[in-house]
């Protein structure tokens, strides 16, 4: 097995095919690499340019100083010879961002892909791609990719440390979709450790990266977008480790539809055995979702709650909006959650705070008036203490930050002290300060009610799967 550490944690990176022209992908990858504070060496390799974007360029791979990783972004027909040069130069890891391999019509592309496989095997190289979009290692500030999502923008790669309870990794065959997870998750203050795109997976596949990341032990949840599981045994080994370590795998396997399968065949030339894979997923508590936003939200909920997963499927709902409470109740029912009445002792405590038109059954119709007087957190705390429930969904409006900000101390205490999961749904688009506050409090904030209910459900299922695995 080649060494993935050389690929994901290189001390030096050669960009084979680097260019000064930042309008093209060969220039963009250098520009993006340079815009992040990666502390290793970056070596452009260019036949035509002596200097690329301020960096000394090398005529060929053979001229390079000792190098850990080569990123190849050159026409497909030149890839085998350059990869061979890398092998000869002692480079032990490569990512191939070029297209035109097994996904191509005709014989040439697939033949080129087989050449890559042979070279990787010959030199025991860790090779990712071809037809990938590179990867990102945020801890190393390393971004050998042309993804626009890694453009240095107004947003830092990582949220502030005080808002980070754990990190997520993305492993995706599709480059565009892989970075789309980051694009959707970063504004929610989700902290990404890796985004790895694997393309055609001629050599390394998503499961190999998953196993490395699980073994490394620094990632709390993994988002995977899979078009094919080439070696189910590798996936099974990774999934088993993940479950034992309490790292949820949240997976969308594309190709559920005939047209989807057709698209995949054209895209990364993948195929799969559906029934066997589904059985594997069930066995290892793999969380399946086909909604990008839901996947991001589920990962965020797991990370915020850590080991505080629901012991069952019984949920209390507390809402300042009566309609909002009914809506989330419907969503919970659809997600297969139960909403029993709260016990009398808890109801009495809640009733003491409510006006006459409030209601403490379940959903708890807290009323806007009681929120004005007591804030949100106290109602979630009380509901969570009911022995009748395993978790709480708190309905808030995050548009106007006043009530959440005034309740800051209680929300921080709730996030720290709660033993049962507390998920928040904001039926209005939350203000940035509310996202920051709740992120710091470690309370997952949802803007889609179904994602919120579904997160509670899959957390309960995951805990059950984990407990079952431990008993074996």
What residues between 344 and 363 interact with its own copies by CB under 8 A? Answer: 355-357, 359, 361-363
Binding test (CB under 8 A) with its own copies, winner from 47, 400, 416, 419: 400
Q: Is 144 helix (H, G, I), strand (E, B) or coil?
A: coil
Closest CA to 150 of 10, 30, 295: 30
**Shortest reach from residue 136's CB to its own copies, in Å:** 15
Separation of alpha carbons 71 and 6, rounded Å:
12
Residue closer to its own copies (CB basis): 89 or 339: 339
Binding test (CB under 8 A) with its own copies, winner from 266, 348, 409, 468: 266
**Shortest reach from residue 48's CB to its own copies, in Å:** 21
Could you say which DSSP state residue 192 is in?
E
Separation of alpha carbons 106 and 127, rounded Å:
24
Determine the size of the site formed for its own copies (CB under 8 A). Answer: 79
Sites for its own copies among residues 296-335 (CB under 8 A): 317, 319-327, 329-334
Tell me, residue by residue from 410 to 449, as one string, x for binding to its own copies by CB under 8 A and - for no binding: -----------------xxx------------------xx
Separation of alpha carbons 408 and 402, rounded Å:
10
The answer to whether 403 touches 368, Cβ cutoff 8 Å, is no
Closest CA to 165 of 140, 190, 184: 190
Tell me, residue by residue from 20 to 39, as one string, x for binding to its own copies by CB under 8 A and - for no binding: --------------------
Q: Which segments of 317-367 does DSSP mark as H helices, in order?
A: 322-334, 344-351
What is the distance in angstroms between the CA of the first residue and the CA of the last residue of the chain? 29
Could you say which DSSP state residue 62 is in?
G
The answer to whether 167 touches 191, Cβ cutoff 8 Å, is yes
Residues forming a β-bridge with 287: 250
- The token pair at 114 is 């087989």
Binding test (CB under 8 A) with its own copies, winner from 48, 54, 257, 352: 257
Residue closer to its own copies (CB basis): 263 or 413: 263
Q: Is 376 helix (H, G, I), strand (E, B) or coil?
A: coil
**Shortest reach from residue 328's CB to its own copies, in Å:** 9
**Shortest reach from residue 325's CB to its own copies, in Å:** 4
The answer to whether 122 touches 87, Cβ cutoff 8 Å, is yes
Residue closer to its own copies (CB basis): 183 or 216: 183
Residues forming a β-bridge with 288: 251
> Does residue 288 belong to the site contacting its own copies (CB under 8 A)?
no
Residue closer to its own copies (CB basis): 89 or 370: 370
Separation of alpha carbons 296 and 282, rounded Å:
20
Residues forming a β-bridge with 96: 72
**Shortest reach from residue 20's CB to its own copies, in Å:** 18
Q: Using only C-alpha atoms, what is the Rg of the chain?
A: 25
Closest CA to 465 of 283, 300, 306: 283
Site stretch for its own copies (CB under 8 A), options 4-12, 45-53, 176-184, 407-415 = 176-184
Sites for its own copies among residues 267-286 (CB under 8 A): 267-268
Binding test (CB under 8 A) with its own copies, winner from 260, 311, 388, 461: 260
Q: Give Cβ neighbours of residue 350 (< 8 Å, ≥ 6 apart).
A: 342, 360, 364, 379, 382, 383
- The token pair at 148 is 């626009």
Closest CA to 130 of 107, 99, 103, 152: 99
Sites for its own copies among residues 361-380 (CB under 8 A): 361-363, 365, 367
Site stretch for its own copies (CB under 8 A), options 120-128, 209-217, 253-261, 271-279 = 253-261
**Shortest reach from residue 237's CB to its own copies, in Å:** 25
- The token pair at 269 is 């030339």
Residue closer to its own copies (CB basis): 307 or 356: 356
Binding test (CB under 8 A) with its own copies, winner from 34, 36, 184, 283: 184
Residue closer to its own copies (CB basis): 55 or 350: 350
Separation of alpha carbons 376 and 276, rounded Å:
46
Binding test (CB under 8 A) with its own copies, winner from 126, 249, 264, 414: 264
Residue closer to its own copies (CB basis): 27 or 325: 325
Sites for its own copies among residues 96-155 (CB under 8 A): 99-101, 103-106, 109, 131, 148-149, 151
Sites for its own copies among residues 56-95 (CB under 8 A): none
Binding test (CB under 8 A) with its own copies, winner from 49, 293, 436, 461: 293
Residue closer to its own copies (CB basis): 314 or 420: 314
> Does residue 339 belong to the site contacting its own copies (CB under 8 A)?
yes
Q: Is the dihedral of CA 289, 294, 296, 299 positive or negative?
A: negative
Separation of alpha carbons 199 and 451, rounded Å:
28
Sites for its own copies among residues 187-216 (CB under 8 A): 187
């Amino acid at each position: 097995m080649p060494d993935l550490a050389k690929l994901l944690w290189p001390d030096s990176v050669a960009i084979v095919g680097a260019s000064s022209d930042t309008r093209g992908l060969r220039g963009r990858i250098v520009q993006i690499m340079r815009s992040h504070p990666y502390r290793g060496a970056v070596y452009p390799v260019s036949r035509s340019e002596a200097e690329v974007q301020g960096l000394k360029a090398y005529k060929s791979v053979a001229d390079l100083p000792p190098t850990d990783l080569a990123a190849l972004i050159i026409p497909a027909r030149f890839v085998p010879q350059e990869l061979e040069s890398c092998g000869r130069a002692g480079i032990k890891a490569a990512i191939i961002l070029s297209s035109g391999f097994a996904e191509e019509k005709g014989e040439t592309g697939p033949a080129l892909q087989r050449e890559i496989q042979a070279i990787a095997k010959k030199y025991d190289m860790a090779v990712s791609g071809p037809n990938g979009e590179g990867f990102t290692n945020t801890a190393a500030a390393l971004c050998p990719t042309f993804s626009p999502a890694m453009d240095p923008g107004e947003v830092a790669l990582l949220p502030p440390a005080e808002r980070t309870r754990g990190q997520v990794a993305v492993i995706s065959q599709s480059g565009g979709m892989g970075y789309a997870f980051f694009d959707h998750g970063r504004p929610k203050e989700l902290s990404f450790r890796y985004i790895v795109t694997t393309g055609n997976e001629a050599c390394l596949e998503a499961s190999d990266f998953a196993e490395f990341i699980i073994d490394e032990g620094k990632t709390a949840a993994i988002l995977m977008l899979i078009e094919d599981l080439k070696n189910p045994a590798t996936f099974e080994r990774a999934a088993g480790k993940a479950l034992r370590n309490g790292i949820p795998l949240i997976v969308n396997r594309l190709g559920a539809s005939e047209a989807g399968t057709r698209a995949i065949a054209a895209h990364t030339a993948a195929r799969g055995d559906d029934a066997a894979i589904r059985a594997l997923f069930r066995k290892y508590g793999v969380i399946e979702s086909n909604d990008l936003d839901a996947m991001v939200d589920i990962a965020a909920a797991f990370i915020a709650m850590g080991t505080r997963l629901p012991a069952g499927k019984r949920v209390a709902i507390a809402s300042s909006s009566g309609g909002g409470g009914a809506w989330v109740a419907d969503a919970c029912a659809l997600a297969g959650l139960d909403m029993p009445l709260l016990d009398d002792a808890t109801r009495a405590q809640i009733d003491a705070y409510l006006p006459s038109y409030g209601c403490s059954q379940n959903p708890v119709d807290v009323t806007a008036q009681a929120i004005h007087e007591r804030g949100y957190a106290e109602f979630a705390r009380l509901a969570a203490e009911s022995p009748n429930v395993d978790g709480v969904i708190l309905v808030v409006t995050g548009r106007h930050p006043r009530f959440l900000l005034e309740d800051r101390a209680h929300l921080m205490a709730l996030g720290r002290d709660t033993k049962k999961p507390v998920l928040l749904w904001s039926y209005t688009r939350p203000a940035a300060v509310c996202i920051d506050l709740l992120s710091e409090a470690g309370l997952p904030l949802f803007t889609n009610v179904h994602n919120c209910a579904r997160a509670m459900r899959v957390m309960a299922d995951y805990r059950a799967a984990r407990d079952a695995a431990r008993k074996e």
